[in-house]
Structure 1
C-alpha cells in the first residue's frame, strides 16, 4: 500500500474512533452528573469513573451541583 493511501485509511479510522470516543465521554459525564445528583459521594463517583477528582469537581460545578459538605472528622486513638 502506498504511503498516501495508508495515511488516508489511518485518518479515516482516527475520525471514526474520535467520534466514538467523544460519545463515550459524553455518556460518562452524564452518568457522573446523575450519580452526584443522586447523592453519591464524589470520592465513590471518581473511583468508578474514568475521570480525575479535579475533573469530577469541574463537572459538578458546570452542572450546578454543590460541593459535598465535609463529614465529621475522625479522631485518632492512641
Structure 2
C-alpha cells in the first residue's frame, strides 16, 4: 500500500508542477497576443498563430484597451 501512496504523492506533485508551468506559458501567450495586436498584426493572423480562439482574443483586446480592428475589404461574389 505504501507504494500506491508514494506513487499518488509523486503524481500529485508532478501535476501541481506542470499546472504552474502551464499557467506561466498561458500568461506568456496572452502577453504575446496583446503585443501582436498592439503593433497592428490582424486578429485573424493572431488567432492562426496563437492557441486561442478569435472570441477570446477579442475579449483580451477589449479588456486591455486595444481598439477593434477595422473591417477588412468586403468580398464580392464571383
Is there any run of 5+ residues in structure 2 with no aligned partner, and where? none
What is residue 15 of structure 1 aligned with on the other side?
Answer: 16
For residues 30-69 of structure 1, the C-alpha deviation after alignment (integer angstroms, 9 at most, x for no partner) is: 0000000000000000000011111111111111111111
> Is 1:5 aligned to residue 15 of structure 2?
no
Deviation at 1:75, TM superposition (A): 1.9
CA RMSD across the alignment: 1.1
**TM-score, normalisation: structure 2:** 0.91
Task: Determine the C-alpha separation between the residues in 2 that align with 1:2 and 1:34.
Answer: 48
Task: Determine the C-alpha separation between the residues in 2 that align with 1:72 and 1:53.
Answer: 18
SS at match of 2:45: helix
**TM-score, normalisation: structure 1:** 0.91
Task: Determine the C-alpha separation between the residues in 2 that align with 1:5 and 1:46.
Answer: 42
